[in-house]
Structure 1
Amino acid sequence: MALKYLITGATGGLGKQVLRHFVENVPLSEFAAASSKASNRFMFEDRGIAFRHVDYNDPESLDTGLRDVENLLFVSSSGLGRIEQHGSLINAAKKAGVKHVWYTSLAFGGFENSSRSPVQAEHVETERLLKESGLTYTSIREGAYAEAFPLFLDWQLERTKLILPADGEVAFTLRADLGEATARIMIRGGYENQIVLLTAGETITARRIVDVINETTGRQIKLEIVSREEYIRRSSTEDTRGKPKEHFEMIATIWNDIADGALSTIHPLMRGILGREPTKPRDALRLLLTEDRDYMYP
């Protein structure tokens, strides 16, 4: 019997939110959760949710896990060899006759492919593979997770001074909103062979993020914007975590990209899909920091 929806990455931050909406709004007989770990089966089956083992590195699990699937939520891999893993899943989806692949991309560059961030280049390459495969697909460029703001700032709780190589507007978007909107767009259907953009309706700068941190937690963090070269030099020498120089070069590239507007694009689709305004970036950050003054991205 055909399975209407399969949700990969169902234990991850985004996939978990997508699954939550399915559980609350779709009959259990119509969808299944998938994970790369077969041992996760029981956490779903104990809740009455069907489970499939889908490991992007395991061809046999791809062959069996994607069998008779109509709509596949293809949550992007976060590990090394991402393009090879994505290519394997795309080939398996085509072989299995999946009717519609819904891919979770990122919003760097908005609808354009101009971003300089290496992570976005891998998503653009995956979109190309999907297009060339002949599969019906929708690439959902998900707004930058509001939950990930400490990663963007490279924030360490004990430090009262932050340095960055640039500043710019970011449409930080709450993951719960993204998960719900992603689920809703899959259930609604359509958007065949298109790129869609899901973002909050507002943006926020690093300087304003620091203000929110200070206002919400009582901290007195100061932000200094320096040149790319000075940022890499100072961060490499002052960091106490043992991070390599390449780590700070990556952060610098992302913020230079942001300064050029890579994450500033906002789009009304998410509001239309949700039927309400998405959580504003500043409200999302306040929520996270009110729940946990020492919040760090897991």
Structure 2
Amino acid sequence: MPEPRCEFVLKYLTTGATGGLGREVLNYFIANIPRSEFAAASSNTANKATFEDRGIAFRHVDYDDPRSLETGLRGVENLLFVSSSSTARGEQHARVIQAAKKARIKHIWYTSLAFGGFEDTSKAPVMQDHLLTEKLLTEPGLTYTSIREGVYAECFTVFLDWYPERTGTLTLPADGEVAYTSRAELSEATARIMIQGGYENETVLFTAQETITARELVEIINATTGRQIKLNLVPREEYVSSSRSDPRGKPKEHFEMIATVWDEIVSGALCTTHPLLGDILGWEPTSPKDFVRRLLEDDRDYVFAY
């Protein structure tokens, strides 16, 4: 006889609730559904009082701690599984999935990345962990939705390796189109799709409807901040070797990472767009051009804070 499914006591659990995406998903829940239906999860137990003081239930969920996963995921119907940023991401995700299976969670909503669009062909190291996680989610006994998110528009400074002190020339190993997407809109759509339900055992794509190039981003930087930056495209090897003269003292590995991302962009890995984000939100997602312009109009020295 198969074991009976557990009785759910919590409709929604949001992991990574102090991070950028998880925090905004939680804010949508606060504004739209009873607080008795959801809880916030964090690896740091010191955050417990912060949530409970606002009337939000708290659960300790640490991807490195199997015991916390066992207790924290118990009785959960819908789990927002926010991907880890750790270099041990693959091992952590495997632990979460096994714990979710053991807890008989009804539906796992996983935050993946949009490298390659709907294809599984991306060679980006970060995407390899996501592809492995998506494969684990297809194991028998699990129901999932993998949400492949467009690159956060807030991260454009990372892709450009842009910092406010830079003057004169911005050097990159290539240029190409990226469907940068607002994190706030990704968060709201994630909360909405969880409440709406459906998309069982599917991979969905949340992106803006337009793309933008590095050259266009530099034009926006200049137009909104009064700077006169010029984009200089150089061969990959030359770009990586520029670490020797970097005024910030960034190591060669930093430039290798940026170059690898641009290898993917040139191959078209981040230019796929899809209408689902707008369909879920009920409005046209903010274009990368408009989003970046507003960021820099509010703060001419903006850089992405991890």
What's the CA shift for 1:113? 1.2
Alpha-carbon deviation of 1:43? Answer: 1.2
Which residue of the other structure, out of 21, 24, 44, is the alignment partner of 1:17?
24
Query: Where do 1:30-41 residues align within 5 Å?
Result: 30-41=37-48
- What SS does the corresponding residue of 1:132 show, helix, strand or coil? coil
Per-residue CA distance 1:75-97 (angstroms, 9 max, x = gap):
00101211110011101101111
Q: For residues 258-285 of structure 1, what are the alpha-carbon distances to aligned partners after superposition, in whole Å with 9 as ceiling and x for unaligned?
A: 0111100000000100000001101111
- Number of equivalences: 297
Match of 1:265 in 2: 272
Shift of residue 5 of structure 1? Answer: 0.3
Q: Which one of 197, 205, 226 corresponds to residue 197 of structure 1?
A: 205
Structure-to-structure mapping, 1:104-115, within 5 angstroms: 104-115=111-122
Deviations along 1:114-155, one digit per CA (max 9) or x if unpaired, are 112110111001101111253100100011000011111111
What is the DSSP-based 3-state SS (H/G/I as helix, E as strand, rest coil) of the residue aligned with 2:221? Answer: helix
TM-score by length of 1: 0.98
Give the SS at the match of 2:130.
Answer: helix
Asked if 1:28 corresponds to 2:30, the answer is no
Contact 1:136 1:193 in 2 (8 A): yes
Q: Which residue pairs with 1:155 in the alignment?
A: 162
Given that residues 94 and 133 in structure 1 are in contact (C-alpha distance below 8 angstroms), is that contact kept between their aligned partners in structure 2?
Answer: no
Matched, 1:170 2:199: no
Which position in structure 2 is the counterpart of 1:246? 253
Question: AA paired with 1:152?
Answer: F
**Residue 186, structure 1, aligned to residue 194, structure 2:** yes
- Counterparts of residues 87-98 of structure 1 (less than 5 Å): 87-98=94-105
Measure the CA separation in 1 of the matches of 2:225 and 2:159.
Answer: 19
Percent of counterpart pairs with the same letter?
68
**Alpha-carbon shift at residue 242 of structure 1 (Å):** 2.4
Aligned to 2:227: 219
Alignment of structure 1 residues 115-126 onto 2, 5 Å: 115-126=122-133
Distance in 2 of aligned mates of 1:179 and 1:133: 28
Which aligned runs of 4 or more in structure 1 are off by greater than 3 angstroms?
Answer: none
RMSD across aligned positions (CA): 1.0
Instruction: Select 1:60's aligned residue among 43, 58, 67.
Output: 67
User: Which one-letter code corresponds to 2:284 in the other structure?
Assistant: E
**Equivalent of 1:69 in 60, 70, 76:** 76
Q: 1:243 offset after TM fit, Å?
A: 2.0
CA shift for structure 1 position 186:
0.6
The answer as to whether partners of 1:55 and 1:62 remain within 8 angstroms in 2 is: yes
Gaps of 5+ in 2: 1-7
Rounded to whole Å, the distance in 2 between the matches of 1:206 and 1:115 is: 20
Code of the residue aligned with 2:110 in structure 1: it is Y
Q: Does 1:228 align with 2:236?
A: yes
Q: What do residues 26-70 of structure 1 show as CA deviations (whole Å, max 9, x unaligned)? A: 111100011110110111111111111100011111111101000
Contact 1:91 1:133 (C-alpha < 8 Å) held by counterparts: no
**Mapping for residues 77-88 of structure 1, pairs under 5 Å:** 77-88=84-95
The yes-or-no answer on 1:291 pairing with 2:294 is no
Return the letter of the residue paired with 2:27: R
TM-score w.r.t. length of structure 2: 0.95
What is the rounded CA distance, in whole Å, between the counterparts of 2:177 and 2:87 in structure 1? 29
In 2: Cα distance, 1:236 partner to 1:39 partner? 39
CA contact (8 A) 1:141 1:198 kept: yes
User: 1:43, 1:294 → 2: CA distance?
Assistant: 30
Gaps of 5+ in 1: none
